[in-house]
Amino acid sequence: MSLLSIIVPCYNEEENIADFYHEVLKNSAFFEEKKIELEMLYIDDGSKDGTAAEVKKLCAEDKRVHLLSFSRNFGKEAAIYAGLKKAKGDYAVLMDADLQDPPALLPEMYSYIEQGYDSVATRRVTRKGEPVIRSFFARLFYRLMNRISKTEIVDGARDYRLMTRQVVDAILSMTEYNRFTKGIFGWVGFETKWIEFENVERKKGETKWSFWKLFLYSLDGITAFSTMPLAVASVMGVLFCIVAFLLIAVTIVRKLIFGDPTSGWPSLVCIISLISGVQLFCLGIVGQYLSKTYMEVKRRPVYLVKEEI
């Protein structure tokens, strides 16, 4: 018998807990046939609703269900990390509680593991049912990210991924505090099979990601997996120095020929504002990296556990 750990990060998902459980168990026949035992790890990411209570109900009925409650909301990345750490399985799969990651794909995913792949990842080919602006910025983010980072980050990739113990251990060996899982998956490498599926809309409840939260998350992703912005800052500095030298030369020559060094005051104001803007922008970039380094150096735990069943 081999063991498959199903890791489910949940934040205020009380309506979805039981549905998810039953939906996964629709694959029971397949798991029995393949001699796979299940372990379901619900990671309650500091939910304020009855999520933990719902999971406890399942725990009482079924020994395969486990609950790990955080002391507060630490974010999905922390929940994924905690789940992978707790997973005892020979294989582990990450799934959203809202059934946007169709459990019906599990048999197909497992068949690729049998063929020798180390991990099976999913991506949605459409963003149907998602606000247009959100899709637009998401696409932009992936394009930018792939240009400035050596780690490949796939557009539309979900965290829904089945992996072998070897891959799980590789991910756990990355103990960084600022966790950007999409990048971590790409960084660890291994043979990955991609499966595509049509976007499924959330069953019940609402998305936990506001536009602002996603924007900050994208900044996290960029600073975690690319140092290109720092290089951009230096290049801009050099460019502006060259332009400044040219302007100095022009001014001196003009003074010698026309003898009027004070004209051009408005253009001076424009140049000063532009350059101070660029300077602040570059300082901001440095600040981003510094703040990430600061958090990293503190070595705070990624999550704190309140309860474990």
Please give the Cα distance from 137 to 172 (Å, whole number): 30
**Amino acid letter, residue 200:** V
- Token duo for residue 127: 């963003």
Stretch that binds Mg ion, among 71-79, 197-205, 253-261, 288-296 (CB under 5 A): 197-205
Tell me which residue of 73, 302, 72, 303 sits closest to 177, measured CA to CA. 302
Residue whose pair of structure tokens reads 């406890």 in the numeric block:
56
**Residues in the chain, how many?**
309
297 contact partners, CB below 8 Å, separation of at least 6? none
Among residues 156 and 229, whose Cβ is nearest to ligand UDP? 156
Do 91 and 165 form a contact (C-beta atoms < 8 A)?
A: yes
Signed CA dihedral, 156, 161, 166, 171: sign only: positive
Stretch that binds Mg ion, among 61-69, 171-179, 198-206, 258-266 (CB under 5 A): 198-206
Taking CB under 5 A as the criterion, the residue among 57, 59, 100, 203 binding Mg ion is 100
Residue ranges in 32-91 that form contacts with ligand UDP under rule CB under 6 A: 45, 73, 75-76, 79
Residue 204 beta carbon to ligand UDP: minimum distance, rounded to whole angstroms: 11
Taking CB under 6 A as the criterion, the residue among 6, 7, 10, 109 binding ligand UDP is 10
Residue 228 beta carbon to Mg ion: minimum distance, rounded to whole angstroms: 30
Do 121 and 194 form a contact (C-beta atoms < 8 A)?
A: yes
Tell me which residue of 100, 192, 113 sits closest to 151, measured CA to CA. 192
Residue 132 beta carbon to Mg ion: minimum distance, rounded to whole angstroms: 18
Taking CB under 5 A as the criterion, the residue among 98, 118, 159, 220 binding Mg ion is 98
Stretch that binds Mg ion, among 3-11, 92-100, 142-150, 152-160 (CB under 5 A): 92-100
45 binds Mg ion (CB under 5 A): no
Taking CB under 6 A as the criterion, the residue among 65, 97, 99, 157 binding ligand UDP is 97
Among residues 112 and 180, whose Cβ is nearest to Mg ion? 180
CB contact burial 54-67 (16+ within 10 A = b; e otherwise) = bbbebbeeeebbbb
Strand pairing category for 65-70 and 119-124: unpaired
Stretch that binds Mg ion, among 41-49, 149-157, 199-207, 253-261 (CB under 5 A): 199-207
220 binds ligand UDP (CB under 6 A): no
The binding site for ligand UDP (CB under 6 A) comprises 9-11, 13, 45, 73, 75-76, 79, 96-98, 100, 202, 207-209
The binding site for Mg ion (CB under 5 A) comprises 96, 98, 100, 202
